Chain A
Amino acid sequence: MKAPVIDAVIHAPGRLQICAILADVDLAEFATVRDAIGVSDSVMSKHVKQLEDAGYLAISKAARGGRQRTWLKLTADGRRAFKAYVAELTRLAGIV
């Protein structure tokens, strides 16, 4: 039986939720994702930084309506990694 190959960057629940949300859209605002997963700004920033450092997430900023908005996007590498992670989970779920 093949040993599980789990991406540690994606595996943490907060980062997994961020990736799951971003996988369904082209861009999502920082605050929207933070509220959806129910974490504080600092925890969210930490997760975002880790995903960005891994090359899985890209950040862009845009001023709209007089305020700065931060947009998050899964990179091509991030999408590939998340897809592989889900495929591995699905395989493991089939074994268990």
Chain B
Amino acid sequence: MNDHRSPAEALDLIRKSGNAVRAAVSDGKAALHDALIYSAIVGVMVGGQAFDLPFNVFCSAGGVVGLGLLAKAWSDRTGIWISGVSPRRARWVAIGLGAVLLVLTLVGLHFGRQQQIWAGIPVGIAAFAIAMAGSWLWIRAFLAKTREP
């Protein structure tokens, strides 16, 4: 090491450099606020599939726009952009969450076809709870991986 840093010191510098990113991702109140909004949008998108046309389409389209605006607001506030599919452990949490929400969406659609519109509410609440848990797990996975040099 030609600048008098030991390898251990350089590794420590790398670890500390990630603090700004980790602080942005795990910023207590703001992270909870974002997770609540994200989960509420997901709950409406998933639960809304039990509704008749065109309301189920409105729920999907409105949800996509809402998620886009939420991501943009987060990126504007923190100055970083994270797609959610890296690092690897966080990617598996994102894929798992997406798979569970997809199954719930199909459940919502199934109830919609049976004209059981009321089922949209418990399905939406379940999607909200799963999205909250998924957000928490994703943050834990992201922080755990990025703490390693």
Binding site for B on A (CB under 8 A): 4, 6, 11-13, 16-17, 20-21, 23-29, 31-32, 35-37, 64-65, 71, 86, 89-90, 92-93, 96
Nearest Cβ on chain A to B57's Cβ, whole angstroms: 29
Contact yes or no, B82 A20, CB < 8 A: no
Q: Which residue of B has the minimal Cβ distance to A87? A: B149
User: In the complex, what residues of A have CB within 8 A of residue B17's CB?
Assistant: 16-17, 20-21, 36-37
User: In the complex, what residues of B have CB within 8 A of residue A36's CB?
Assistant: 17, 19-21
Tell me the bound Cα distance from A23 to B22 in angstroms: 12
Q: Which residue of A has the minimal Cβ distance to B84? A: A26
Contact yes or no, A28 B79, CB < 8 A: yes
Contact yes or no, B18 A21, CB < 8 A: yes
User: In the complex, what residues of B have CB within 8 A of residue A16's CB?
Assistant: 10, 13-14, 17
Interface of A is mostly: helix
Contact yes or no, A93 B11, CB < 8 A: yes
Q: 14 extra interchain contacts, Cβ-Cβ under 8 A, other than A6-B1, A20-B14?
A: A4-B1, A16-B10, A21-B18, A24-B18, A25-B81, A27-B81, A31-B79, A36-B17, A64-B76, A86-B11, A89-B10, A92-B1, A92-B7, A93-B11
Q: Which residue of B has the minimal Cβ distance to A71? A: B81
What is the interface residue range for chain B against chain A? 20 to 34
Nearest Cβ on chain B to A63's Cβ, whole angstroms: 12
Contact yes or no, B3 A11, CB < 8 A: yes
User: In the complex, what residues of B have CB within 8 A of residue A28's CB?
Assistant: 21, 79-81
With beta carbons under 8 angstroms apart, the residue of B2, B18, B80, B81 that contacts A20 is: B18
Tell me the bound Cα distance from A13 to B1 in angstroms: 12
Tell me the bound Cα distance from A92 to B146 in angstroms: 21
The yes or no answer to B78 lying at the interface (CB within 8 A) is yes
Nearest Cβ on chain B to A22's Cβ, whole angstroms: 9
With beta carbons under 8 angstroms apart, the residue of B8, B78, B87 that contacts A96 is: B8
With beta carbons under 8 angstroms apart, the residue of B5, B7, B76, B83 that contacts A65 is: B76
Nearest Cβ on chain B to A72's Cβ, whole angstroms: 10
Q: Which residue of B has the minimal Cβ distance to A32? A: B79
Tell me the bound Cα distance from A36 to B6 in angstroms: 22
